[in-house]
Structure 1
Amino acid sequence: MIYSRKVNFYETDAQGVVHHSNYPRYFEEARGFYLESIGYPYEKVRNELNVDIILLELSVQYKNPLFFGDTFSIDFYISDMDRFFFVFEYTVRKDNTVIATGKTKHACINRNSRKIVSIPEVLRLK
């Protein structure tokens, strides 16, 4: 799946480069885009499934900079999924240049008990 957006000025540092702390936010935006694309935006996951999706691990490898006004895309997919855990992998690109790569690991928890639960069927890979 591919998510695209443009760099906002407030995401850059004094040198005009996207600050490293924004890449986890970009990954989160991509995951939100994924949930919307399968018909389960995060508010529906929370309210109808009574589940929160939590972040367990995060890694980012920075390769090249992005600057204010740049348009970039994030190619991402679920690379691993079992009963309780799933992993997204990301490649951030500007044109054909790899800007960063990353990986996040997640689990679902019941919103009331805060205990890990099986990934709901509607969120599982088909």
Structure 2
Amino acid sequence: MVVEYSFRVRWGDTDAAGIVFYPNFYKWMDEATHEFLAAIGYRTSTLYAEQQVSVPLLEANCQFKSPLLFEDNVTVHSKVVELHQKVFKISHTFFKEEKIVAEGYEVRAWTSFKEKPKACPIPNEVREKMMPENAEIVQG
């Protein structure tokens, strides 16, 4: 499944020249991951409130291909590209109109916070919804 997350670049996301400051791509990847989970029926706030489960970040990377500017409209396409027993890798492709401006990924662990944080198996019903076989785009 591919989930779309769209937003407009704000002034506070840019440097003095009006170009997006690079850490914001990591913020947007984080937001896109939470949008992805909500789109498949697992809102992170609900997961934590009801099950004390969250998906902490283990690794992140982003390659920048073209700058984004103040007031650009951006769409991020996110999909799970690797699914392990306790860990998943989600890719994020940033588009300005039809042009790819950045590509990145995050590696996250399905983690219980009932006691001390501990990675635990991703439930089968979640795994089925994360799997990329059905590559339809869901707007979120």
Correspondence for 2:75: 73
- Percent pairwise identity: 29
Correspondence for 1:30: 32
RCO higher in structure (CA 8 A, sep ≥6): 2
Which stretches of structure 1, 4 residues or more, deviate above 2 A after TM superposition?
A: 120-123
Letter in 2 for 1:15: A
Alignment pair present for 1:119 and 2:122: yes
Correspondence for 1:39: 41
Letter in 2 for 1:82: H
2:36 aligns to what SS in structure 1?
helix
> Which whole-Å CA distance do the structure 2 matches of 1:39 and 1:51 have between them?
14
> Which whole-Å CA distance do the structure 2 matches of 1:61 and 1:46 have between them?
31
Q: Normalising to structure 2: TM-score of the pair? A: 0.85
- In terms of mean alpha carbon deviation, does 5-14 or 105-114 score higher? 105-114
Q: Normalising to structure 1: TM-score of the pair? A: 0.94
Mind listing any 5+ residue stretches in structure 1 that lack a counterpart?
none
1:52 Cα deviation after fit: 1.8
> Which whole-Å CA distance do the structure 2 matches of 1:76 and 1:110 have between them?
24
Mind listing any 5+ residue stretches in structure 2 that lack a counterpart?
130-140
> Which whole-Å CA distance do the structure 1 matches of 2:96 and 2:68 have between them?
8
Match of 2:62 among 44, 57, 60: 60
Correspondence for 2:138: none
Q: Calculate the aligned-residue CA RMSD, in Å.
A: 1.2
> Which whole-Å CA distance do the structure 1 matches of 2:10 and 2:125 have between them?
34
> Which whole-Å CA distance do the structure 1 matches of 2:128 and 2:108 have between them?
14
> Which whole-Å CA distance do the structure 2 matches of 1:31 and 1:68 have between them?
23
1:32 Cα deviation after fit: 1.3
1:4 aligns to what SS in structure 2?
strand
Correspondence for 1:9: 11
